[in-house]
Amino acid sequence: MLVYKCELVLLENTFFSSREINDLYMTEPLIGNYALTYALHLAQAPYRNTGEIYYYEHLTRLNELGIYVTPATIPDGQEPKFSFSQFNSIPDGYWYAMGNNCLVQRPDGHDAVRQGKEGGKKVWYIIDRRTGKRTKEKAVNYPQVGFIKMMGIGTVLQFFVVSENPLTLPRYIRLGKFMSKARMDVKPCYKPEVVSRQAQSVRFLLNPLDLPNGIHVSSYDTYSIHPVPLIRNAILTGQFWQIERDLYLPTGMRFGVDFLQPQAVS
């Protein structure tokens, strides 16, 4: 078994919508292991997506290959950097209007009218002057205005990649909603020693769904984020790989996505 200790340095402001409080969209100082797996190109999301989630198919395949990625943690002694700014998605066109949870734009050769009622509010329609075709403006699923808190340039995080076979990991990756660039420094640890530990403190982030059945968890701190809450400062008893003198990684971790298995329709 091979373990790669990876250090990630953010070269651009990086945004994940970890929390949404009214019009404030916040990034927690961490990166989930599902996001890292796709960023490392160990799994490949389809170019076009109609809303389907492929975690089960993609991550089960990595389980079969003996590949696992931990979440990324701000190391002890490091402080996360943040960037805070305001945004709006109001179009720059000559004509626009604010509808019911939508931004109405009038293309060239079209008219915009507000008629009828839906849910007690008038509805906007775009009308093609040439054909007379009417198209109702629909609500959009992204915010029009708000404030955004991102991890800032220079933030350092660490994570681990475990593999049964040698891997070539990329030097640079892109992360988050804006595909922000980050640099990776990789330190391989070939065939680390397996040891048993009682009440071992693990300070970096773990995905609790991925822990093996044979490990006992005594206590932990929780980060409630989607799609899976993560834990840190866990006290664990079981089998570990000893990566460095005081650095232990639980053995037997795999992506815990079995509960996502599609159910057969009878």
pLDDT in tens, 176-199: 999 999 999 999 987 789 999 999
Based on the domain organization, do 58 and 108 belong to the same domain? no
46-77 per-position pLDDT tens digit: 877 777 888 999 999 999 999 999 999 999 88
User: For the chain, how many residues are written?
Assistant: 266
24 with 103, same domain: the answer is no
Residues 70 and 178 in one domain: yes
CA distances from 140 to 50, 64, 89, 263 (A): 15, 39, 11, 31
Is 266 among the domain residues?
no
Same domain, 95 and 68: no
Band (pLDDT 50/70/90 cuts) for residue 265 is very low
Site of tokens 């007690």: 120
Q: What is the pTM of this model?
A: 0.81
Residues 119 and 236 in one domain: no
Same domain for 33 and 156?
yes
In a domain, 265, yes or no: no
Residue 90: band (very low, low, confident or very high) from pLDDT cuts 50, 70, 90 = low
What pLDDT does 51 receive?
A: 73
Domain range for 76 is 2-86+147-260
Confidence of residue 255 (pLDDT cuts 50, 70, 90): very high
What's the mean pLDDT when you consider all of the chain?
Answer: 88
Q: How many domains does the chain have?
A: 2
82 and 94 housed in the same domain: no
Question: 110-153, pLDDT tens digit by residue?
Answer: 888 887 776 667 788 888 888 988 888 776 666 667 899 999 99
